Chain A
Amino acid sequence: MDLAQFLTASRVLIVAGKGGVGKSTVAQTVASVAAEAGLSVLLVRIGVLADESRQDESEKPKFAGAVKHLTLEPGDALSEYLSTRGLGLVTRQLSSLGIVDVVASAAPGIDDLLVLGKIKQLARDGSQDLLVVDGPPAGQALSLLRAPMSLGRAVLAGPIRQQADEVRAMLADVTACRLMLVTTPELTPVMELVDTAFDLEDELGVHLSPLTVNRCDLDELPAEADVLRQACHTESQRAALEYRLTRRQRQILAMDELRQRVPLQRIVLPDVADTNSSADILRLAFINQVRALTGDTK
């Protein structure tokens, strides 16, 4: 298996993780790696609090094969859906009366379902080799991905039911969709990832790709910890060293927990300072990690 095969094992890759673990950075990295490998890639961000500045990134490709960006707004999903079903005129009337909002409240989760429906449609039209979805934080990812199931239970017929069934089929089809969970090497996000992983697999039959452990301290120490401690001449050296050693110890504990509790392969990314070259460093690290996992020696 080479890098491109690894990336396109499914058409859609949903990247999810607890807030603050760098989920968007990882999604961006995967998309860039895919573009660099010659694939056509669409990076989909699920909006609401869409950040203008981040969309501009598609304007300045820094390497061969730019990543295309798209932001989906769950709030607009129902009106848009009604319009595409030839109900445009009626929809405008219904919207102005506030009735679309009532329907959305009447069938909660409908916006989430329609966002997933849109992703399914984009995947199906075949114009992209890969869709990388920068998903919502872990807790919300669960309610987003559960939407087709809970709506499917409430809605027995009609186009929404059909949509729910199709989206559920996509989520459970390993060639159509995989989920990449992201964590940092700390116990709290790791424990949360463990819960999320099992919930998603059991309930929805979602397939998990190798998970990504972001912001790891991968530097090698120049000597044993005790040798370093002995060598400290100043209080600041000592304090900074202890801080670093404690963090590394926490990382070891978290990684052990992850290895024991989640039987998935891991992609380990370094903790890079937020500078101009950080995207390049992450891309390179990601490629090396995937090559190591897949035995691709090119």
Chain B
Amino acid sequence: MSGVDVFLGTQRVIVCCGSGGVGKTTVAAALALSAGRQGRRAVVITIDPARRLADALGRRGELSNEPTLVERIGTGEMWAAMLDVSSTFNDLIGRFAATTEQADLIRSNVFYKSISGSLSGTRDYMAAEMLLRLHEDPRFDLVVLDTAPSRNALDFIESPERLVRFLRHPLFRILTAPSRGGLRVIGATVQPVLKIIGRVVGSNVMSDVIDFLRAFEGMETGFAERAGSVSRLLRANDTTFAIVISPSPEPLNDTGLLVDRLYATRITPSIVFANRLTPLFDEPTTILDASSSNADDGVQMWLDDNVRALRERALRERDLVTSFVDRMTPPPTGAVTTVEIGEQHTDIHDLEGVMRLADSLS
């Protein structure tokens, strides 16, 4: 069994991180498919707004929050879902609200509407929520998460803690205090602070926020517990962070910084997928036969030059990958596994393409 097969056979969560444009989405889909081939019930989620997974599976526009069965392979299954931020947030409100009135009040709040839309911080948190939800779903035993490009991948990991910090913030308690029964004294000390914030963002935003926080009252415990579960799941033993790279210096640099910050949050990626590598062709060893004309010599030279140029590129790419992996501090539990994936002959926009990619993984 190859290193990838071991991961796919034993892990419950695989989080794919990396810069945009490295083929992270198709690698995530191929991992879910490979796991399905091993008899597991795997689901892949994308939070990428560019909807590339939908393209890759050839089901543009059909993917949603609710996982769809893409392929059944013997006893194994591959499912796919695409994060819908507002409906995930709506579900969460429905789940933690004490009454349907409270849920409706929050859902109709102006501030809630603007944060539950496409704004990036909310999206990261909802991706984490979706990961947890599918992890708890008895239909699946492996969840593969395709994250947004590197800058956001970190937001995603940190989003649960950020929400807890926000909910536990003293200001949050103070703002909601008056509705808890006549704590007017606190209200007086808060007024100047509110005024300053109001001067900056506009007073209507502040009143919308206060209304939202008041409506939210009592739900913060549920949210904080949920955030705690996400945070533990991301650091669990059967959760793997996979780094997907492609061999160009610019995104590799960004990904290196991402890996450093993963370590800083006590997360150690243990597998690297080096995608889109130029194949390493053999050195040209042409022996021109005596019958070849002069015109043919020019063509022969071009053919050999083509081999050499591609070889040079392929070797340069492998150097980049090696120095990237060397630069990663080895995790305490073992070495980093590197999986090389050759450049595919066609753009991957259907399930067959994902299957070919899955073939080249093991």
Please give the residue numbers on chain A whose beta carbons come within 8 Å of chain B beta carbons, in ascending order: 18-22, 24-25, 48-49, 51, 53-54, 82, 85, 87, 90, 94, 97-99, 101-103, 105-110, 136-140, 142-143, 146, 150, 153-161, 186-189, 191-192, 195, 221-223, 227-228, 231-237, 239-241, 243-244, 246, 250, 273-274
Contact = CB atoms under 8 A, between A and B. Distances in A.
B118 A49 contact: no
Given A49-B258, A274-B316, A158 B200 contact: yes
A54 B196 CA distance: 38
A235 B284 CA distance: 9
Nearest to B289: A233
Pick the 5 closest A-B CB pairs, nearest first. A19-B20, A20-B21, A158-B202, A19-B21, A236-B282
A150 B349 CA distance: 32
Contacts of A250: 346-347
B201 A158 contact: yes
B50 interface: yes
B202 A155 contact: yes
A250 B284 CA distance: 25
The B contact surface, by secondary structure, is helix
A187 B121 contact: no
Given A137-B20, A188-B52, A244-B306, A154 B149 contact: no
Contacts of B140: none
Given A24-B250, A139-B48, A233-B287, A102 B151 contact: no
Interface stretch (B64-72, B220-228, B295-303, B329-337): B295-303
B189 interface: no
Nearest to A54: B253
Interface residues of B, number: 84
A18 B118 contact: no
Nearest to A159: B200
B121 A234 contact: no
B216 interface: no
B114 A192 contact: no
B117 to A, nearest CB: 7
Given A108-B115, A246-B345, A90 B149 contact: no
Given A94-B196, A155-B202, 7 more contacts: A19-B21, A49-B150, A49-B257, A107-B201, A110-B201, A273-B312, A273-B313
A47 B151 CA distance: 10
Contact of B199 (A109, A136, A158, A232): A158
B119 A109 contact: yes
B299 A87 contact: no
A102 B202 contact: no
B294 interface: no
B283 A139 contact: no
B193 interface: yes
B118 A143 contact: yes
B262 interface: no
Given A19-B20, A99-B193, A108-B122, A239 B296 contact: no
B254 interface: yes
Interface string B107-124: 000110011011111100
Contact of B204 (A48, A103, A156, A239): A156
Contact of A237 (B208, B258, B307): B307
A189 B21 contact: yes
B251 A160 contact: no
A22 B250 contact: yes
A97 B196 contact: no
Contacts of A234: 282, 284-286
Contacts of A90: 196
Contacts of B172: 102
Interface in B36-64: 48-50, 52, 55
Contacts of B52: 188, 192
Contacts of B289: 233
Nearest to A242: B345
A243 B120 contact: no
22 contacts: A19-B251, A49-B254, A51-B257, A53-B253, A82-B200, A101-B165, A102-B172, A105-B166, A110-B201, A138-B20, A139-B48, A139-B49, A140-B152, A150-B114, A158-B199, A158-B201, A161-B202, A195-B50, A231-B296, A231-B300, A233-B303, A240-B307
A240 B314 CA distance: 11
Interface string B130-174: 000000000000000000111110000000001001100111100
Contact of B299 (A19, A99, A105, A227): A227
Nearest to B172: A102
A105 B22 CA distance: 30
Contact of B20 (A20, A159, A186, A274): A20
B19 interface: yes
Contacts of B114: 108, 150, 153-154
B240 interface: no
A140 B158 CA distance: 18
Contacts of A235: 282
B229 interface: no
Nearest to A108: B119
A106 B172 CA distance: 11
Nearest to B199: A158
A126 B254 CA distance: 32
Contacts of A53: 253
B201 A143 contact: no
A129 B66 CA distance: 51
B197 A48 contact: no
Contacts of B283: 236
Contact of A154 (B19, B110, B151, B279): B110
Nearest to B308: A240
A166 to B, nearest CB: 15
